[in-house]
Amino acid sequence: MKHIMFTAMVSLWATNAIAHSPLEATVPANEATVSKTPSEIVMDFKGAIRLTRVSMTQGNQPSVSLD
């Protein structure tokens, strides 16, 4: 029974890990300091993606949901 549970957990974890596409580049660049609010933010992923949640954080301020 433990072996079956372990196999099921590993299978679920592996499926979730494969579902992520790495972020290749952003505009403005990651960790960049901008003097004016950009008119757009571009995120370039290695593969096709579907965003489910995006939030923005500035300094010590609370995150803002961009849904």
What are the boundaries of each domain within the chain? 21-67
Please check the confidence at residue 20 and state whether its pLDDT lies above 90: no
Q: Give the type of residue at 58.
A: Q
Say what the pLDDT of residue 26 is.
Answer: 92
Q: Are 46 and 22 in contact (CB under 8 A)?
A: yes
pLDDT in the model for residue 31: 85
Contact criterion met (CB below 8 Å) for 46 and 60: no
Looking at per-residue pLDDT, the higher value among 24 and 51 belongs to 24
Average pLDDT of span 40-49:
88
31: left (phi over 0), alpha (psi -120 to 50) or beta: left
Residue 11 in this model has a pLDDT that exceeds 50: yes
Q: Using CA of residue 59, residue 55, residue 29, residue 21, what is the dihedral sign?
A: positive
CA distance 27 to 16: 27
- Choice between 37 and 26, residue whose per-residue pLDDT is larger: 26
